[in-house]
Amino acid sequence: MHNSWQPKPGDKIFRPRRIKRYHLRRILGVPALFSAGYGNVGSSIYYALGIVALVAMGATPIALGIAGILFMFTALTYAEGTAMLPEAGGSATFARHGFNDLAGFVAGWALMLSYIVTISISAFTIPPYLGYFWEGLKISPIAGTATSMGIVIFLMTINIIGVRETSILNIGAAILDIITQVSLVVIGVLLILIPNPTILVQHMFAPGNWPTPSNLILGIALASIAYTGIETMSQMAEETKQPEKRVPKALFMMIVTVLVIFAGISLVSLSAMSPQELASE
């Protein structure tokens, strides 16, 4: 039946307003994604190496290697999830689409807690390194805490200014860090491992240096701390050009870089000093 209804004079017609959805600017490329992810994951070696050595002792490279395999599978999962759902939110978004809003809510708050913890750990370990140049940062808790807080406030300010400025800082820091760590590995191989190739075996398997099975398992669990931060790239998908292609590519690059550098740093460090020295001094 044909509907011949027409509005009459005086009738009010309801016209619903369209809800605008605001989108983030897609301005990031592979270098910006890689540097952001590497900044979160790669920097962990500075504090995780000593923590793992405290428990895993001579098996520190093995603990980091096993945790690295788990990290590789996790990264590949994030690559597939981001290619399917290129939205901001990372695993919180994955949980929301895969389960329900409550699962996404819980995952989001769990991520927030993990970021607070990793920010605190990273900022707390910077002053002792800088204390090599100014001893006051090692001796004075006030100076060390103030420096950590200043670093966090500075980085927070850069993030507020804009993602483009943050990516420029991340790329520069990632390049500097990779050059530093690769230089340490090359110097260690040339000056320690090649002249005395048996020293690594001595430090790993000497009496008292090999951990108990329970400590090795605990060391692997602690080594997983070194690989935290992989979530970052997925969270930046909505700010990335062609995220379904560039996020997986950046993740693959980070997997290779992190595994190679972590393996090199742990082997060279354990060659340069005993597990006891590595875990303390």
pLDDT above 70: residue 33: yes
Residues 6 or more apart whose CB falls under 8 angstroms from that of 225 comprise: 44, 48, 51
pLDDT score at 126: 85
Q: pTM for the full model?
A: 0.79
pLDDT above 60: residue 2: no
Rounded to 5 degrees, φ, ψ at 88 are: -70, 150
Residue 216 in contact with residue 63, Cβ under 8 Å? Answer: yes
pLDDT score at 10: 59
Of 273 and 88, the one with more pLDDT: 273
pLDDT score at 12: 60
pLDDT above 90: residue 182: yes
pLDDT score at 19: 57
pLDDT score at 22: 59
Q: Measuring CA to CA, which residue among 157, 131, 166 is closest to residue 40?
A: 166
pLDDT score at 176: 93
pLDDT score at 67: 92
Distance from C-alpha of 43 to C-alpha of 27, rounded to nearest angstrom: 25
pLDDT score at 24: 67
Percent of the chain with pLDDT over 90: 28
Q: Which helix (H) or strand (E) holds 40?
A: helix 30-41
pLDDT score at 186: 95
Distance from C-alpha of 98 to C-alpha of 121, rounded to nearest angstrom: 32
